[in-house]
Structure 1
């Protein structure tokens, strides 16, 4: 989808395109939060298209059958085989290593329900692939999607996750009661 069309669709829906710091990076993990609504996916895809790039996303390998495989690949889907002996982290590090350009969006909450503790897979993928993390947001309060900053993992997992989560204070999810900030 073209930048113009994506921006137009967002604008007609009342949404703004926020800052896009780091969107030019060839390789990164994109931490997308809060994730509280089924609308997060289309809004996030439209935002990324509106800034002229493509974010990939994880999807179960089971969904990659004809004709859905064509659709999912065309919009950035990356099949994950949970039956493999390798972890999702190892599979994604291999993807980063074999591609010249790869931006992988992950919702660390892992669900649209409220969670106290985020899943850390996005962090370990970035750490092991030696790529930065873009802190992307979808703020239903401001009706704005954007990227707050670029974060470089240090290896101090607990401190880094805490720091990352602080960037999401004050951001409202589609269902605000389902987002637990620090």
Structure 2
């Protein structure tokens, strides 16, 4: 069980911390993804057991179940950020059990600092998944919250991906933010540029 930091967002117990259920769902995820033709790539290095995961491209509601299945296969302990609306009854408790953390736009000013504090305080492996687009709709401008959370916490960013064109998903390079955000973002975006989301016309890593 992860110790709670006392800050928001709260690193609560999730489905990934439930041994029997986790084992069953990992087996089911491996079987489903194999039948569906997906290839899961990469692994999480020990030195990145606490990190920020970029979730891109993010263009469809289908990204969440595929992301969760990929996390089971790779034995991750992820939390993911979602709009507060999807945490309303009757599905709020389920979303939190799946690792969800409600994000309220009116409280976003403190989100970077609070997230960094929570990651630093966690006493077990934990990965915070943040979609840089901030929305599954088309956008040309990536939000930089994921970058500053990692930089503030002194943790690496792992370039996680889901390419619907080639049906492959997984973990790419480990990136250490330098504080030079323009240079770092250019390098990160270059990695994602060839990838295609489910709705490819809504993703732009230029």
Common fold by TM > 0.5: yes
Tell me the alpha carbon deviations over residues 114-158 of structure 1, each in whole angstroms, 9 at most, x when there is no partner.
222210000000000111000011001110111111000000011
CA RMSD of aligned residues (A): 2.1
Q: Which protein is richer in helix relative to its size?
A: 2
Normalising by the residue count of structure 1, what TM-score does the alignment of the two structures yield? 0.89
Contact kept in structure 1, 2:82 and 2:102, CA below 8 Å: yes
Normalising by the residue count of structure 2, what TM-score does the alignment of the two structures yield? 0.79
Tell me the alpha carbon deviations over residues 80-126 of structure 1, each in whole angstroms, 9 at most, x when there is no partner.
45555951101211211321232100110111222222100000000
1:137 to 141, 161, 181: 161
Q: Runs of 5+ in structure 2 lacking a partner?
A: 1-21
Give the structure 1 partner of residue 3 of structure 2. Answer: none
Q: Runs of 5+ in structure 1 lacking a partner?
A: none
2:77 to 54, 76, 82: 54
Counterparts in 2 of 1:30-179, with a 5 A limit? 30-60=53-83, 64=87, 68-84=91-107, 87-100=110-123, 101-179=125-203
Alpha-carbon separation, structure 1, partners of 2:193 and 2:39? 19
Distance 1:139 1:65, change over 3 A: closer
Alpha-carbon separation, structure 1, partners of 2:72 and 2:171? 13
SS in 2 for 1:87: helix
Which stretches of structure 1, 4 residues or more, deviate above 6 A after TM superposition? Answer: none
